[in-house]
Every structure is written in C-alpha cells, then in structure tokens.
C-alpha cells in the first residue's frame, strides 16, 4: 500500500492479496512489481511484509500485512518472493522476528512483545522460516523488544546478537543479507541513538544499516563504525563478511557487469494493469450487507452522496487520497447522480439536503481519526441508508452496527474501480477477510 513510484501502475497492497487467498496472485504481483523496478533501474524492494497482523490496534503494520493467519502470510509471502526474485529483483522479508502483534508504532517509540518462545515460533517467526526455505535474499529487522528472545531489558531485535546471529543465523540457518530498519526511527533514536545503534547493529550481525534521512547522522554512523574497526572492537573480517554478501547478491541477481539502467519504455503498463485489476477483483471484500443496499438500483432518479476525508495522515498511502474521487467518476459513468463532499480535519458538521437517497462514506484508520467515527454516528442518527467503504477492515470494530461494510484494504485505483463495480452490481465481491475482527 506504500507506493513510491509515480506514473506507474499502483498495485493493490498485501492485505488485499491476502483476501484473495491465492498464492498465484501474490506471485503475479511480485513479478509485475519487479518489472517496474527493473525498468527504472532499481534492483531491490523492501517487500514483502511478513508480519502476522493479529492485533487490531496495530496501526504501523495493519493492512501492510497479508493477514492474521501465519500460514496464509507464509504462503503468500513465499509466492511474492518467488515472483520478484525470479525476475531478478532482490526481495526483503520484514520485520524480523515479527512486528504484527504490537499496538505501538516503532517510528514513534519502542514496542515490546511479551509472548513466550513457543508462541513466537508458531506465529511470528513461522513466515520468516518459510521465507528462508523459499530462498529470500534479504531480511529486515524490527525495532521491537522481545524478552523471550533477548534477555537484556530494552534491547530491540535490531541490536540483539542473540536474535540476529543466535536465532536468525545459527538456529534458522539464514545465510542472506540482514538489513536494519531505519535507525532514525524513534524506537532507536530516542533510546540508544542512531549512531551508537548503528555500531550495535553491526556487532549484532547486521550486514546493511539504514540511516535513511539525515546526512550528518549517516556520516557520523560511518565514522563511528570505522573507529570501532581501527580500535579493534569490530574486526575487518566481520566487515568483509558483510561486504562479500552484498557483492555476491548483486552478482547473483543482476551481474556486476550489467547494472540496471533506467528505461521507462520497458514498462508494459497494459499488462501490469491487467494483473492489478485481476488482483483487485479477487480481493475486494463485502464484509456484510444486512440492509441489501448492494447492488445500488439505478432507476428512480436515485442520488448518492460520496463522503471522503482529507487528513494529514489518513493512511500510509503515498498517493493523494483524492484517488477516492475515482468512485465518483465511476458512478457518474454508470448513470448514477452523485454529489461529493470532502471533510477536512476537525470538520464533523453533516448536513443532508433533500434528494439524497444514499451515502457512501470512505473511512481509513478511523481509530486514529475520531472525526470519521463522528460522521458515521451522525449518518446512523439521520436514519439514511449508507455504505461504509473502508481501506482498513479494522474500522468496522468502531461501528459494528453499520449494516453494509465493504473493504478495499487500500486506496489503490483498481480497488476503487472494483468497489464501484460491486456497488453497481457488475459482479459479486469475491474477497474473504484475512483477519479476525472483534465485533
């Protein structure tokens, strides 16, 4: 659901793929995304997310996960990796040993997972085991504390020798690249510090350290590691081990003599859009329709009001949230009279003038945006028929009494198109929720 490239096909995110329950579509997504990356000269993607999102309050992973079932996450993750790596792009399973059961965002503070070792192996670690069997090229670490795996209080997985070397290397037999998540995230920066954390990550067993934003901190981290080597606290052999892994992986995937050159002409957008649409159509999920509002009847001059929200952090989507207007455009093409209203942050005044027969309201991560919930409650009080169209299935837990709830998992364009096709009765929704909702 995080889409960094502008002007290329925006593929549906992982949880929608999870709702398809089809590993063949996960593999197709991996291949197609790899094709885009090769065309713009990129040889690596920090995907897929293999966190098992079994905590409804987890806003940092959420729909970036394939779902709440470790077997499903493992199966689809392995298929995605296969598709991507067979096309020559380096895949990265993240965030080891599993960031799914947290309700704290490690961008903001340091999460702790208190589960015992047996439970961790069955759920959190299981998809990573399967990724290793599938031959994943790289694994990214999580800035989370797991006391069952690291006895030192407050030491996150990224900085833990026991987790990176003892568990991942020695117990699980992983021989690929270990990459840290960004060391400027507050889980590291506000505890051990970006620079000292970078040194500790190398000592723990990381091959690549990400310092993703600040040149000064990048430079300081390099200087600190060089100092550790010169003073004998990190051996040159240890550095060389990582360098050889990096060079070996470049050679394996693309060949050092044949580095990728950006060429947009290599993108076959027509084929990619067919794949994206196929995935969207198989995954968009009608969770319930107790009022029988879907399909919407076109006869009788029915007028629909489409409501969406414009918040600074409505979701993790990198595209403009006004993609939601695609639904308005689609409904108009289908001959339905439509009005459109966008609520700005803090605005919860709802007025429904005469002639509005139904409302379709977009929601996303409503747990962090109370104004969305207020609008839903006001629609309920107004006693008007309405459909909730959400990019996050967990939103339903905030208003479980809503009778019609359709989830598209993320605001990628084809998901919205498919939602429109379902609402207008072109075909029935095919997706199945890949997570358990507490309603």
**How many CA atoms does the CB half-sphere of 409 hold within 13 Å?**
35
DSSP of 46-92: ---B------TT-TTTGGGSS-S-HHHHHHHHHHHHHHHHHTTPBPE
The DSSP secondary structure of 10-29, one letter per residue, reads ----HHHHHHHT-HHHHHHH
* Residue 287: pLDDT over 50: yes
Distances (CA, A) of 44 to 41, 87, 177, 267, 294: 10, 11, 12, 17, 42
Residue 255's contacts (CB-CB under 8 Å, 6 or more residues apart) are: none
Cis peptide upstream of residue 310 (ω within 30 degrees of 0)? no
Q: How confident is the model at residue 439 (pLDDT cuts 50, 70, 90)?
A: confident
Domains and CATH numbers, the chain: 14-266 (3.20.20.300), 284-423 (3.40.50.280)
**pTM reported for the whole predicted model:** 0.92
Residue written as tokens 């895949």? 91
Distance, CA of 413 to CA of 280 (rounded, Å)? 9
Q: Cα separation of 308 and 374, whole Å?
A: 13
Whole-number mean pLDDT of the chain?
90
Q: Select from 32, 161, 139, 123 the least CA-distant residue to 91.
A: 139
Please pick, among 105, 107, 115, 289, the residue that the annotation labels catalytic: 107
Give tens-digit pLDDT for 293-329: 999 977 566 799 999 987 544 333 344 444 458 899 9
Task: Tell me the pLDDT band of 429, cut-offs 50, 70 and 90.
Answer: very high
Read off the pLDDT of residues 213-256 as tens digits, 9 standing for 90 and up.
999 999 999 999 999 999 999 999 999 999 999 999 988 887 65
Residue 241 CA, distance from chain mean position: 31
Q: Residue holding tokens 């040194």?
A: 199
Contact criterion met (CB below 8 Å) for 59 and 391 = no
**Reading across the β-sheet that carries 303-310, which strands appear in turn?**
285-289, 404-407, 385-390, 358-363, 303-310, 337-344
| Burial classification of residue 439, based on how many CB atoms lie within 10 Å of its CB (0-12 exposed, 13-18 middle, 19 or more buried) | middle
Tell me the C-alpha distance between 208 and 77, whole Å: 22
Report whether the peptide linkage leading into residue 393 is cis, meaning its omega lies within 30 degrees of zero: no
- At 8, the pLDDT band (50, 70, 90 cuts) reads confident
Catalytic residue among 162, 181, 395, 410: 181
Residue 319 among the catalytic residues: no
pLDDT of the residue at 199: 98
Measured torsion, CA atoms of residues 70, 73, 75, 80, in degrees rounded to the nearest 10: -160
Residue 129 burial (C-beta neighbours within 10 Å; 0-12, 13-18, 19+): middle
In angstroms, the CA 256 to CA 249 distance is 10
181 is catalytic: yes
């Amino acid at each position: 659901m995080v889409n960094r490239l502008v002007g290329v096909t925006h593929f549906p995110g992982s949880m929608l793929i999870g709702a398809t329950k089809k590993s063949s579509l996960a593999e197709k997504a991996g291949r197609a995304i790899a094709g885009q990356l090769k065309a713009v000269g990129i040889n690596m993607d920090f995907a897929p997310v293999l966190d098992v999102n079994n905590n409804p309050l987890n806003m940092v992973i959420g729909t970036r996960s394939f779902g709440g079932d470790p077997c499903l996450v493992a199966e689809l993750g392995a298929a995605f990796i296969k598709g991507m790596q067979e096309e020559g792009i380096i895949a990265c399973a993240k965030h080891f040993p599993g960031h799914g059961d947290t309700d704290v965002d490690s961008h903001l503070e340091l999460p702790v997972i208190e589960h015992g070792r047996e439970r961790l192996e069955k759920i959190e670690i299981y998809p990573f085991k399967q990724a290793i069997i599938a031959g994943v090229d790289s694994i990214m670490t999580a800035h989370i504390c797991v006391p069952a795996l690291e006895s030192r209080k407050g030491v996150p997985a990224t900085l833990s020798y026991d987790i990176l070397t003892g568990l991942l290397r020695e117990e699980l037999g992983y021989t690929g690249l270990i990459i840290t998540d960004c060391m400027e995230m507050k889980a590291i920066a506000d505890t051990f510090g970006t620079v000292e954390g970078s040194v500790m990550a190398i000592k723990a067993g990381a091959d690549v350290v990400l310092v993703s934003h600040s040149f000064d901190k990048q430079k300081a981290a390099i200087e600190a590691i060089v100092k550790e080597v010169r003073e004998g606290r990190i051996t040159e052999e240890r550095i060389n081990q990582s360098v050889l892994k990096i060079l070996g992986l470049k050679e394996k995937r693309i060949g050092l003599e044949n580095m990728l050159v950006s060429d947009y002409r290599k993108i076959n957008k027509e084929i990619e859009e067919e794949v994206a649409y196929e995935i969207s159509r198989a995954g968009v999920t009608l969770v319930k329709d107790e009022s029988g509002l879907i399909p919407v009847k076109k006869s009788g001059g029915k007028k629909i009001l489409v409501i969406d929200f414009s918040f600074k952090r409505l979701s993790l989507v990198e595209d403009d949230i006004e993609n939601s207007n695609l639904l308005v455009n689609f409904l108009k093409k289908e001959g339905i009279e439509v009005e459109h209203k966008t609520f700005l942050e803090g605005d919860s005044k709802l007025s429904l003038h005469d002639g509005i027969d139904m409302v379709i309201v977009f929601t996303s991560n409503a747990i962090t945006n109370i104004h969305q919930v207020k609008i839903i409650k006001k629609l309920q009080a107004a006693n008007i028929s309405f459909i909730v169209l959400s990019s996050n299935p967990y939103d339903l837990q905030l208003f479980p009494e809503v009778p019609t709830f359709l989830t598209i998992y993320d605001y990628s364009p084809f998901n919205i198109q498919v939602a429109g096709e379902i609402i207008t009765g072109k075909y029935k929704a095919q997706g199945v929720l890949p997570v358990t909702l507490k309603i």
